[in-house]
Amino acid sequence: MVNSFGQVREFFLRTPCASLDRVLLAAVDEQGNPIVVMVAWVGFRTRGDARRFKDLDDTHGTGNVTPPGGALLGIADVRFTGQHYRSRRAGSVTVIAEAEPVGGPVTDEVLDGLAEVAVLLPRP
């Protein structure tokens, strides 16, 4: 899958996903510091495939789904580190969410909170 990297990409070569929806959201903290949140819904043919994908993706350093382009939001160069990451599985779909600051100091608490909420968003 071209929208992934690392071991996650290798996983998709062996176990193709059935669907992929991604969104990039912009937010600000209480001080007005910009934040970007990426959410991806990765659908599989079976719950087992979704579980195996989640297990792999939850392991830091194994790769991930790439975010959609952020040029329209003015955040084309944001690098997602996986430090503010959450995931959940809903049947045969694995939902992943990551948050990163775009500029200015944003607390880990805010970034983690945004990822916790974003992973609960309904699929578009």
For the residues 81-94, what does the mean pLDDT come to?
A: 96
Q: Are 116 and 36 in contact, with CB atoms under 8 Å apart? A: no
Tell me which residue range forms the domain holding 78.
4-118
DSSP state of 73: G
Number of domains in the chain: 1
Tell me, yes or no, whether 124 lies in a domain. no
How far, in Å, are 5, 20, 26 from residue 96 at the CA level?
Answer: 15, 11, 16
What are the tens digits of pLDDT across the range 6-49? 999 999 999 999 999 999 998 999 999 999 999 999 999 999 99
Sign of the CA dihedral running 83, 30, 68, 103: negative
Q: In this structure, is residue 123 part of a structural domain?
A: no
Q: Is the pTM higher than 0.85?
A: yes
